[in-house]
Amino acid sequence: MSRRNDLIKQLVASKSFGKEKENEQKFLLATAELILSDLIDIALRGVEKSGAGSLVINLLNDSTTFMSGHSIEFDIHTAEREEDEEILTFLRGLMEEIDENDWSTNVLITLISDAGTRTFAVEAGRSQESLRALAEEFSG
């Protein structure tokens, strides 16, 4: 992830202007689309392997992991035991997002940064057939 982050930071920080800046912006958009496509694929593989959950990208420590509902429940029990209210709030909110997600079309991607935490329901695009089959498993 850090090479991708570095590339995006370099492109955004560019001092170019005019046609060169326009070309850089097009490159940035194409790069962002490729990265998002990769993240969707990783999230989908996580759902296929572990069940409903979210791909969690922590930009504070440059880590990425798939958290299934089962692992989140385990972490909630641990956070309750340790009385860590900040973690409990995050994990309970994430479980709510997982419970409310439309698994027939979307995967979840959670970003953690110094600006806060946010979970996005991202349309899986070409992978929707796989998601529909998984959604059937989740619902019954």
Rg of the chain over all Cα atoms, to the nearest angstrom: 17
More confident residue, 77 or 134: 77
Counts of helices then strands in the chain (DSSP H, E): 5, 4
pLDDT tens-digit profile of 59-75? 889 899 999 999 999 99
More confident residue, 79 or 135: 79
pTM score of the predicted model: 0.73
Q: Is 101 helix (H, G, I), strand (E, B) or coil?
A: coil
Compute the distance between CA of residue 56 and CA of residue 124 in angstroms, rounded to an integer: 16
Give the pLDDT of residue 119. 92
79-to-31, 50, 66, 83, 139 alpha-carbon distances in Å: 37, 21, 18, 6, 28
pLDDT tens-digit profile of 22-73? 787 777 777 777 788 888 889 999 998 999 999 999 988 989 999 999 999 9
